[in-house]
Amino acid sequence: MDAALLNPTLNPSAWSAYGVTLNSRLLLGTAGYPSPQALHEAIVASGTEVVTVGLRRIHAGEGGGDNGHIAAIRSALREQGARLLPNTAGCRTAREAVELSHLARELYDTAWIKLEVVGDEQTLQPDPWELVLAAEELVREGFQVFPYCTDDLVTCQRLLDVGCEVLMPWGAPIGSGQGLINPWALRTLRERLPHIPLIVDAGIGAPAHAVQAMELGYDAVLLNSAVSQARDPVRMAAAFGRVVQAGRLGYEAGVMAPQAMAVATTPVSGRPFLL
| Catalytic one of 25, 40, 83, 114 | 114
Alpha helix positions (H), 141-232: 153-161, 183-192, 207-215, 225-228
Would you state the torsion angle of the CA atoms of residues 131, 134, 138, 139, taken in this order, to the nearest 10 degrees? 50
- 61 marked ligand binding residue: no
- 29 marked ligand binding residue: no
Can 114 be counted among the known catalytic residues?
A: yes
The span from the first CA to the last CA of the chain, in angstroms, equals 26
| CA distances (Å), origin 254, targets 154, 208, 247, 260 | 29, 18, 11, 19
Q: Distance (Å, rounded) from C-alpha 3 to C-alpha 96? A: 49
The DSSP annotation for 59-85 comes to HHHTTTT-HHHHHHHHHHHHHHTPEEE
Interstrand relation of 15-17 and 20-22 (parallel, antiparallel or unpaired): antiparallel
Q: Please choose, from the candidates 166, 179, 187, the residue with its C-alpha nearest in 3D space to the C-alpha of residue 223.
A: 179
Q: Distance (Å, rounded) from C-alpha 137 to C-alpha 113? A: 13
- 175 marked ligand binding residue: yes
* Residue 181: partners with Cβ closer than 8 Å, 6 or more residues away: 171, 172, 203
Q: Which residues are annotated as a binding site?
A: 175, 202-203, 224-225
Residues noted as catalytic: 114
Q: Which residues are annotated as a binding site for 1-deoxy-D-xylulose 5-phosphate?
A: 175, 202-203, 224-225
